[in-house]
A and B are shown apart, each in its own frame.
Chain A
Amino acid sequence: MLEIRDLHVKFHTREREAVAGISLTIRDGEILGLVGESGSGKTVTAMSIAGLLPRKQCRLSGEILLGGKDLLHADRSELRKIHGNEIGVVFQEPMSSMDPLMKVGLQVGETLRIHTDNSPEERKKLVLAALDDVELPDPEAIYNKYPHELSGGMQQRAMIAAAIASRPKLLLLDEPTTALDVTVQAQILELLKKLNRTHGISMMFISHNLNVVRKLCKRVAIMQRGELVETGDTEKIFTDPQHPYTQRLISAIPTRTRKEPV
């Protein structure tokens, strides 16, 4: 459903390319994990898919095809039609990613307001449904709250609701659980799995945490220094990593079951 072909991104202020020629596909209805340490180019990859890179400050080449359209070279008005409507994005810090002065319900309904001609009443109904989808208790009350009145986990749920409200084909999740507590993190992962199953939304899940990715994704891509080092079935990569970097990454995961060397 989404195909990246030989993507290069270079910021004018940096010597090295942030993304140095990666090719990757996201299949219909799958959750693809994109793993790498900070600075490996995984967020830049996601932002170039979402069309959120500052174009004046970087040089882009390659193609990103969504249903036959090249997102990388689309103009602003084309991108705006895709933003929120075909691609939803969830960012790392829910608190700072939400407009602090706008009621949660309005933020969740923003994509509907922009991309559909629904009446306000219809829109509200859809927003409440979306809030219900992300398992927020009492959507009617949440609708009228401000972001600071919610906990971090609830904020992130609201952000997910906002991203899926107008039923995009693809959801980009940029470390959505990194800023959250471990227990909340697990709940959000369950929620994402459920949304993937029930709505059939394809997702790209970016994380530096292999364990999280293992729980969620069938397929995973590993990035290092702007390059894709390994792509494949998650379980296969975990049990039989090919690339030395992947091997190091996996051996660095602390586990309770691993036997201590005698």
Chain B
Amino acid sequence: MRIKRNGYLTAGLILTGIIVLMIIIGMFWTPYSPLTMSAKEKLQAPSLRHLMGTDNFGRDIFSRVLKGAGTTLTIAAATILIGSVCGTIVGALTGYFGGVVDDVLMRFNDALTAFPSILLALLVISLVGPGNKYNVILALGIVFIPSYARITRTAFASLRDANYITSARLMGASNARILLVHLLPNTVRILLPALTIGFNNAVLAEASMSFLGIGVTPPDASLGYMLSEAQGMFAAAPWYSICSGLVIILLVFGVGLIGEGLQRGEREVE
């Protein structure tokens, strides 16, 4: 796959790279412990000592944001992994083999994708039980399967009857070989921009759920939960809300630019 480099891609990669690098560092080392409270240093404005200030317990917000962003990033990554792998398998098989199963599954799929993802995630969460990191991953993962299945199915179904596939079949290639060697690589270029959109949806959905208090709950912290915590102390420590919100925005913005760049780069190559 060739993609022409463009401003969107470069800007997106740089922005996302910086944020992800900081988050990964934050998974192993933070300037302060995100949980250590200090009565002396509560509600401090951002300074060199505390880059993003402190909250009403005197916890270092920069460290908390790093840790929280780490949780958000992990959940989003796990979610799109589940969604894209399961979705690709379902979409590939139904798209390639077609038939009644395909019809029924895709009708069901259409119905599911009509629903807002947050609503479906809430439904699944209410069934598996709220307040647990793994349940959030499970809920969001399931919710994102249909959209990936649909994208892959369309690609596989359109390529199924392409001449080079027919000739591969005539040469005796097995279905498994056609699916994996001939078809799968061709869907990557369609799947890649979809992954960036999916990632962003996952970040926003996780943040919303945690904000609502039915996603990740303490002792784990995610950016969404931190924002709900920060809302209560906005007047006293506005930097808490603003910093954690900005991290979400920049992460989603960066990945969004990558997605835009991928789509445009692809178009220009064509």
Determine whether A and B are in direct contact in the complex, meaning some CB atoms lie less than 8 angstroms apart. Answer: no
Chain A interfacial positions (CB closer than 8 Å to B)? none
Chain B interfacial positions (CB closer than 8 Å to A)? none
